[in-house]
Amino acid sequence: MTKPVDWMQEARNIHWFEAPTRLLDDSNPPFYRWYPDGLTNACYNALDLHVAKGRGDQAALIVDSPVTGRGRSYSYAELLESVARCAGALAAQGVGLGDRVLIYMPMVAEAVIGMLACARLGAVHSVVFGGFASNELAVRINDATPRVILSASCGIEPTRTVAYKPLLDAAIDLAVHKPSTCIVLQRPELHADLLKGRDISWSDAMADAQMHACVPVPSNHPLYILYTSGTTGEPKGVVRDTAGSIVALKWSMKSIYNVEPGEVFWAASDVGWVVGHSYIVYGPLFSGNTTLLYEGKPVGTPDAGAFWRVIEQYQVSVLFTAPTAFRAIRKEDPQAGLMKNYDLGSLKSLFLAGERCDPDTLNWAQEQLSIPVIDHWWQTETGWPICANCLGIEPLPVVPGSPARAVPGYDVVVLDEQGEVVTDDSIGALTIRLPLPPGTFTTLWNADERYQKAYFSRFPGYYETGDAGYIDEQGYVFVMARTDDVINVAGHRLSTGAMEEVLAAHPDVAECAVIGVADALKGQLPLGLIVLSDGVERDYSDIVTEIIASVRENIGPVAVFKQCYVVKRLPKTRSGKILRATMRSIADKQPYRVPATIDDPAILEEISALITPRD
Ligand code: COA
Ligand code: AMP
């Protein structure tokens, strides 16, 4: 058994303006509050502390952008100066304690600078992933009601330049809430038109700005809101607090990832996802590492050797990415021939998360790299790993298919339908006995009731992860599937419910269902089934084309919604429940049982012929 963490002791490793005297306020479950009476600041812990302790000249942030051919490095002192100036620019726009700032930016240093500047002021950032379209952005603007939005003229995808500004303008037009200011980074690849009176260019805003000091905030002050997909189309605004995040993330850098201050840590993800928040920005900086911001892909920028080039060039110690990235590399370079062109001697371990890691991919990575390859499991809600092979505490044997054991701080329990603890290795709901450790979510933005209902009502006393799985005799956890309508496309968490809302809004559609089906590269892909309204006589292919375009336009390209079929009816039980799980099994070529309560077995056969993949 691994020793429990002494969270009060760990709290002594961070900087406090006023140290807490109490560890946990558990008087109002499930609203637990860690370190309730402390005063701290996340930006101080990420930057000022290190400069004060003599780390000012060390690289804090390295930007590597194969898609633009540019890059640069910021020392801790330089990053501190840029962040303090950005905080001053935000303050000049009226941003203060508790105000929200929405960040809709590509993988540029300014995105990190903006996040840290918010933390410096005690303002609450909400980063929206660049692959989301205007409608999704508008929903988040309405919910977070930001005073200021930070954005850029464009993002660069390998095949195209994505003009962010028109997407932002459209989102603001759609939204009921209007920000008072947008600060827009003009990138050389594309110039954005600025709206007089509302928009300011990043360079103008920074040029006039005063450096701003850190504002001490109470421990439980929100550090950020990060929207994530749930069962319905309405995203959930996960709220993380300040002190818990600092303590837990700092602890995880050494205990889980086994990196020391000064080492280079690279999370090849995007700042718009939780991995980006925790392990591109906050975790590595809290612990005095050098973090890498990579604007590129594992393949195609320029080839499947891109990761190896970056590892050699910056002497990366630990790499963290999603299994899909390794599947993409393997597909293009099955023998890892390109790896031989680089010296990967600095790399100590590879961590994979974001989706289930198939043993085949894990074994391939391990064979090619000859280092520990660690699958670990966590979620936007938890903010840091629930299960992992904690290399900094006690490395365990790697069991492909399992993210190893519960990390200290998490008491993972499998429950059956009745809420009874499952003691053998049968599959049930993966839950965590309360309280959750520091650094996990404290509520959903403006939605305390939804927080309680969505996560804590089915199994009182436990947090419901939404994943199903089992625990073996050695305590290894196996995460097998989601229990809701969330799917994982290339490590990106998406809601089939949100896609169904878009399909249902098409004037010719009477009924629809979207399911996630297995894909060899991206893990899962969405597949839509639509039933047309009576009397619709248009060409089916036109309707399908419109629907595919509409998902791209409303949710974004990241949904990769490209498969859609017109069917006569949807298969349902007699009580009207759509048999999504059965259809998913058919599409995945998995064994399935036709429920006795099916209302029309023939329709399932028809659909099966459509969606079963051909060999
Ligand atoms: N801004 C705008 N568009 C974006 C975007 C962004 N930030 N990120 C992705 N997109 C677009 C892509 O251009 C693509 O558009 P297209 O349909 O015009 O080609 C679409 O969204 C799908 O993108 P993606 O899923 O990235 O697919 P891909 O084929 O371009 O790349 C992988 C496939 C596997 C290489 C890529 O998904 C990858 O590197 N994944 C790593 C996973 C990851 O970072 N996960 C985060 C959690 S750890
Ligand atoms: P996100 O909130 O985007 O990080 O997505 C979290 C979800 O991704 C989890 O609830 C799981 O469904 C899935 N996931 C993440 N990591 C793993 C993993 N290592 N193994 C299995 N599923 C994972």
Residue 481 pLDDT grade (very low, low, confident, very high; cuts 50, 70, 90): confident
Rounded Cα gap, residues 393 and 541, in angstroms:
56
Ligand 2: centre distance to CA 266 (Å) = 19
- Do strands 181-185 and 148-152 pair parallel, antiparallel, or not at all (unpaired)? parallel
pLDDT at 613: 73
Rounded Cα gap, residues 457 and 454, in angstroms:
7
Residue 354, ligand 1, Cβ within 6 A: yes
One-character DSSP codes across 24-55: EE-SSTT--EESTT-EE-HHIIIIIHHHHTT-
Rounded Cα gap, residues 317 and 261, in angstroms:
11
The C-alpha torsion from 253 through 256 and 257 to 263, rounded to 10°, is 40
The atom number, within ligand 1, closest to the CA of 157 reads 13
> What pTM did the predictor assign?
0.95
Mean pLDDT within 87-96:
98
Residue 130, ligand 1, Cβ within 6 A: yes
Q: Look at 339 and 573; give whichever has higher pLDDT.
A: 339
Sign of the dihedral defined by the CA atoms of residues 260, 357, 385, 285, in that order: positive
Residue 464, ligand 2, Cβ within 6 A: no
Mean pLDDT within 543-562:
96
Mutate to test the pocket of ligand 2, among 129, 488, 494 (most ligand atoms within 8 A of CB): 488
pLDDT at 1: 62
pLDDT one-digit tens code per residue, 503-523: 999 999 999 999 999 999 999
Do 533 and 508 form a contact (C-beta atoms < 8 A)?
A: yes
Mean pLDDT within 15-27:
98
pLDDT at 599: 81
The ligand placed nearest to the CA atom of residue 162 is 1
Phi-psi region of 461 (alpha: psi -120 to 50; beta: other; left: phi over 0): left
- pLDDT for residue 194 is more than 90: yes
- pLDDT for residue 230 is more than 80: no
Rounded Cα gap, residues 336 and 170, in angstroms:
43
Mutate to test the pocket of ligand 2, among 132, 355, 384 (most ligand atoms within 8 A of CB): 355
Mean pLDDT of the chain: 95
Rounded Cα gap, residues 485 and 479, in angstroms:
16
Query: Partners of 471 in the beta sheet?
Result: 477
Longest dimension (CA), the chain: 74
Rounded Cα gap, residues 443 and 241, in angstroms:
9
pLDDT one-digit tens code per residue, 92-137: 999 999 999 999 999 999 999 999 999 999 999 999 999 999 999 9
Rounded Cα gap, residues 260 and 318, in angstroms:
11
Residue 30 pLDDT grade (very low, low, confident, very high; cuts 50, 70, 90): very high
Query: Partners of 344 in the beta sheet?
Result: none
- For 580, the enclosing helix (H) or strand (E) is helix 580-587
One-character DSSP codes across 415-436: E-TTSPBP-SS--EEEEEESSP
Q: How many residues does the chain have?
A: 615
Ligand 2: centre distance to CA 485 (Å) = 13
Residue 128, ligand 1, Cβ within 6 A: no
The atom number, within ligand 2, closest to the CA of 482 reads 12
Ligand 2: centre distance to CA 352 (Å) = 10
Do 240 and 84 form a contact (C-beta atoms < 8 A)?
A: no
pLDDT at 427: 92
Rounded to 10°, the helix 496-504/540-554 angle is: 130
The ligand placed nearest to the CA atom of residue 271 is 1
Q: Look at 263 and 600; give whichever has higher pLDDT.
A: 263
Residue 92, ligand 1, Cβ within 6 A: no
pLDDT at 602: 87
Do 469 and 421 form a contact (C-beta atoms < 8 A)?
A: no
pLDDT one-digit tens code per residue, 325-350: 999 999 999 999 999 999 999 999 99
- With b for 16 or more beta-carbon neighbours within 10 A and e for fewer, the 144-159 pattern comes to bbbbbbbbbbbbbbee
Residue 615 pLDDT grade (very low, low, confident, very high; cuts 50, 70, 90): low
Ligand 1: centre distance to CA 41 (Å) = 33
- With b for 16 or more beta-carbon neighbours within 10 A and e for fewer, the 526-539 pattern comes to bbbbbbbeeeeeee
- pLDDT for residue 401 is more than 80: yes
Ligand 1: centre distance to CA 519 (Å) = 15
Residue 220, ligand 2, Cβ within 6 A: no
pLDDT one-digit tens code per residue, 425-462: 889 999 999 999 999 999 999 999 999 999 999 999 99
Residue 354, ligand 2, Cβ within 6 A: yes
Nearest partner of 321 among 272, 376, 255, judged by Cα: 376
